[in-house]
Structure 1
Amino acid sequence: MIQWSSKSLNSTEQNIIGSNCLNTVNSISSNQALGLQNLEGYSLGLSKEDLLLEQKQVEPSWIKPDTGSGYDSLISGTPQGKGSQVNGFDSGLPKVLVVDDHTASRMTAVALLSMEGYEVIEADCGSKAVELVTQKQPDLILLDVMMPGMDGFEVCQLLKQEEHTRLIPVIFITALNDRRSRIRGIEVGADDFLTKPFDRVELAARVKSLVRQKCLNEDLDHTEKVLFSVARAIESRDPNTGDHCERLVKLGQAFGEYLNLSRHQIRDLMWGGYLHDIGKVGIPDAVLLKHGKLTPEDWEIMKQHVVIGEKICQPLRSMRGVVPIIRHHHERWDGSGYPDGLKGDDIPYLAQVFQIIDIYDALTSERPYKRALTFEEALQIMLEETLLGWRNPKLMQQFAEFIGFYQEKE
């Protein structure tokens, strides 16, 4: 069973890296350097040269752009002054949370990451790590597997289930060739693995890559939130529809599960509940909010909302499964629908599924020009339309069977 929660628009936005204003970062502090001297007996796979730190400022590797990097192309090449913003977010040192109950291992990771220019936070147990994640919102977590109390698997699983922490990359620290831990880590949502002793170059590369990926994912997440916000604003312009979108999301999830659709298909169906009419943002108020019957010219304008909605959502890869719903939810089984006049199974399956729940909700909801029909009355009308050739007969029969169970549950 998929648990759905609407994405909040006021969640804490994370800092995005890559600003030129971070020209230099101080080398590791004297306390950290002393800590490294005390770790000479601990096998790290590092040369003595790696551990000798000169008293000067160094440029961290994560601000050195890679040639041809798609991520770097998202960031303006204009020099940024101190306190400037990148992509609308305050620039700053990326934060890495190191979680390990073994002091020597934790100090080693802290020292190496500090040398690379990261702000490092430490935790010596799982419960403290969860508390620091909530308080500090790190950009990445370096997490030991074996810890007393709450182990690394529990921490990772908890964070990946939460809306506000699911995008934070987690790198598990495992023993060499610990196959069982790696498999378990994948199951709870780990993003990568590192083995002890640390290799400095590998650690820097993996952390840098995942911090960049997190920034890209957050950009995508913010874009999706904007789209949902626009869709809700459009719905609010028409007071007659009430909570139409919310009802479609709920009904879409339930019907999708009844049809044994995949998790991604159910998600697309639910997102379609919010976004199917987003193209109405481009329809003039004179047509969209017109009282009375629309003229043939008005209808031609109104039909464009599906094409406009497709253009709005098409650039986002995460919307690939939703775009066919947006464009084709007004097609008909006999080819008499719009915008493309598709027939039968040429109509995308999720668009067929969504159309049925959309029509059902419209029939069973009260509008100024009609009363709310009972579910039996709505089904009768929809079955009559199916006989006219407007709906997929098999899918309509499945919906009729489903809605009886659904109404009893409600």
Structure 2
Amino acid sequence: MIQWKSNHTGFTEQIVSESNPISTVKSIGSNHVVESQNNVEAYSLGLSQEDLMLENRQAVSSWIKSDINCGDDSLVSRTLQAKGSKVNRFDLDPPKVLVVDDHAASRMTAVALLGMEGYEVIEADRGSTVVGLVTQKQPDLILLDVMMPGMDGFEVCQLLKQDEQTRLIPVIFITALNDRRSRIRGIEVGADDFLTKPFDRVELAARVKSLVRQKRLNEDLDHAEQVLFSIAMSIESRDPNTGNHCERLVKLGQLFGEYLNLSRYQIRDLMWGGYLHDIGKVGIPDAVLLKKEQLTAKDWEVMKQHVLIGEKICQPLRSMRGVIPIIRHHHERWDGSGYPDALKGDDIPYLAQVFQLIDIYDALSSERPYKIAFTTEEALSVMLEEANSGWRNPKLMQQFAEFIPYCQE
């Protein structure tokens, strides 16, 4: 037997696992017996919501009790959690689903079906309250009605997807509208899926479960990336001599990437490379990393390991595949005299070639304890000499020399 508990004192609901597994018995502090839950199944079979509401108004009212949240009568929250239910395989905490619909009957249907699957369900009856509720409750998924008074579903979805804090929350539009224009509009504002009323229980459960799983995987990936960036910034803070080196590389990488007409993903990798190119220095001893005297040959062998350490740190993350060549190869030289693999010419990954130019330029044009900041002309002159010596891609170096004055303008 499975028992559900709501947030209300004295309210419990039990599923009796006998010959009819979906029959229910409900008590509200007494032996108050209510109708079979087969009525919930009737929604998915296409029976009208009005007929069911007329027939079972009292039963449904007593079944779905409400709280008032945030001091707003339009916001109600309930928890219907099935102990040991399928969704608990996601995590120890049951996923939260926010159902937004101005029609009470539709909300009740969704809440009942999701409750049977073990989700914690939160409700709202108008779009204008959703953003605040999302911030407070942090749901794992939103079932969002399209046609609502005031702020409609399209506007709500667009606001959520534009916000860095809520963009990863999947949004499923629930609507009676099945026309092509509505779906295209939904896709444009960032909807992740669509469901048409009346709900099919199996389809609803499958779509919600899939998107919640995807959202949690995305969150894990997002957190892993944030950890890497934090490590990279902590490395920069170990060496106060570099100033805001990483931040400057990120901005310069974006501008140079746009100048070269690189793709959005290549520009993103260049920008991430600005933060992560030296992340492997976390494994370099301070005695070498912070040494003020000239490094010995032995010191250099230790220092060169930072590109390999950085590659190993970022290797497990698939989202870092475009950044790893930058991390490993940004010290290679066009004539093959660089490290770690002594690659020559176009064997050096293109983004690594692009990145090393902005890295060298920033180092030359910034003040360090062992040198003054070079002017733009002086820095470019040194880099052009290195290109003539065979260290840099001459064509790319020429493009960079043309880019810098353009960038400054």
Which residue pairs with 2:384 in the alignment?
383
Which residue pairs with 1:170 in the alignment?
171
C-alpha change, 1:175 and 1:357, in structure 2 (3 Å) is same
TM-score norm. by structure 1 comes to 0.80
Aligned runs of 1:11-30 on 2, under 5 Å? 25-26=4-5, 27=13
C-alpha change, 1:238 and 1:36, in structure 2 (3 Å) is farther
Which residue pairs with 2:194 in the alignment?
193
Which residue pairs with 1:61 in the alignment?
86
Which residue pairs with 2:241 in the alignment?
240
Opposite residue 383 of structure 1, the aligned amino acid is L
Which residue pairs with 1:13 in the alignment?
none
CA displacement 1:234-283 (0-9 Å, x = unmatched): 11111100110011111111111112212111111111111000001111
Alpha-carbon distance in 2 for matches of 1:116, 1:165:
24
1:182 Cα offset (Å): 2.0
Q: Which has the higher contact order (CA 8 A, sep 6+)?
A: 1
Which residue pairs with 1:266 in the alignment?
267
Alpha-carbon distance in 2 for matches of 1:397, 1:35:
80
1:24 Cα offset (Å): 5.7
C-alpha change, 1:193 and 1:36, in structure 2 (3 Å) is farther
1:337 Cα offset (Å): 1.0
C-alpha change, 1:146 and 1:398, in structure 2 (3 Å) is farther
Equivalent pair of 1:173/1:194 in contact (CA under 8 Å): yes
**Count of equivalent residues:** 358
CA displacement 1:12-63 (0-9 Å, x = unmatched): xxxxxxxxxxx864448779x98999x89x9542689xx999x996643312
Alpha-carbon distance in 2 for matches of 1:150, 1:391:
56
Opposite residue 287 of structure 1, the aligned amino acid is V
Which residue pairs with 1:303 in the alignment?
304
Q: 2:357 aligns to what SS in structure 1?
A: helix
Alpha-carbon distance in 1 for matches of 2:306, 2:187:
42
Which residue pairs with 1:45 in the alignment?
45
Opposite residue 60 of structure 1, the aligned amino acid is S
Structure 1 window deviating more from structure 2 (363-372 vs 252-261): it is 252-261
Q: 1:141 aligns to what SS in structure 2?
A: strand
TM-score norm. by structure 2 comes to 0.81
Alpha-carbon distance in 1 for matches of 2:247, 2:162:
22
Q: 1:240 aligns to what SS in structure 2?
A: helix
Q: Are 2:307 and 1:282 aligned?
A: no
Alpha-carbon distance in 1 for matches of 2:162, 2:215:
16
Q: CA RMSD in A?
A: 2.9
CA displacement 1:112-158 (0-9 Å, x = unmatched): 11222211111122221111111111111011122232222222122
Equivalent pair of 1:143/1:170 in contact (CA under 8 Å): yes
Q: 2:309 aligns to what SS in structure 1?
A: helix
Equivalent pair of 1:386/1:396 in contact (CA under 8 Å): yes
Q: Are 2:96 and 1:113 aligned?
A: no
C-alpha change, 1:102 and 1:233, in structure 2 (3 Å) is same
Alpha-carbon distance in 2 for matches of 1:353, 1:158:
36
Equivalent pair of 2:254/2:270 in contact (CA under 8 Å): yes
Q: Are 2:123 and 1:122 aligned?
A: yes
Which residue pairs with 1:9 in the alignment?
none
C-alpha change, 1:200 and 1:389, in structure 2 (3 Å) is same
Alpha-carbon distance in 2 for matches of 1:145, 1:118:
22
Q: 1:297 aligns to what SS in structure 2?
A: helix
Q: Unaligned stretches of 5+ in structure 1? A: 1-22, 66-71, 73-85
C-alpha change, 1:282 and 1:24, in structure 2 (3 Å) is farther
CA displacement 1:218-238 (0-9 Å, x = unmatched): 111111111111111111111
Which residue pairs with 1:69 in the alignment?
none
Equivalent pair of 1:36/1:111 in contact (CA under 8 Å): no
Q: Unaligned stretches of 5+ in structure 2? A: 6-12, 15-25, 64-80
Alpha-carbon distance in 1 for matches of 2:296, 2:198:
74
Provide the identity percentage.
78
Aligned runs of 1:112-151 on 2, under 5 Å? 112-151=113-152
Alpha-carbon distance in 2 for matches of 1:157, 1:260:
29
C-alpha change, 1:344 and 1:57, in structure 2 (3 Å) is closer
Alpha-carbon distance in 1 for matches of 2:158, 2:260:
29
CA displacement 1:185-240 (0-9 Å, x = unmatched): 22222222211110011111111111112111111111111111111111111110
Opposite residue 173 of structure 1, the aligned amino acid is I
Q: 1:172 aligns to what SS in structure 2?
A: strand
Alpha-carbon distance in 1 for matches of 2:265, 2:367:
32
Equivalent pair of 2:82/2:117 in contact (CA under 8 Å): no
Which residue pairs with 1:211 in the alignment?
212
Alpha-carbon distance in 1 for matches of 2:397, 2:34:
73
Alpha-carbon distance in 2 for matches of 1:395, 1:36:
74
Larger radius of gyration: 2
1:336 Cα offset (Å): 1.3
Aligned runs of 1:389-408 on 2, under 5 Å? 389-408=390-409
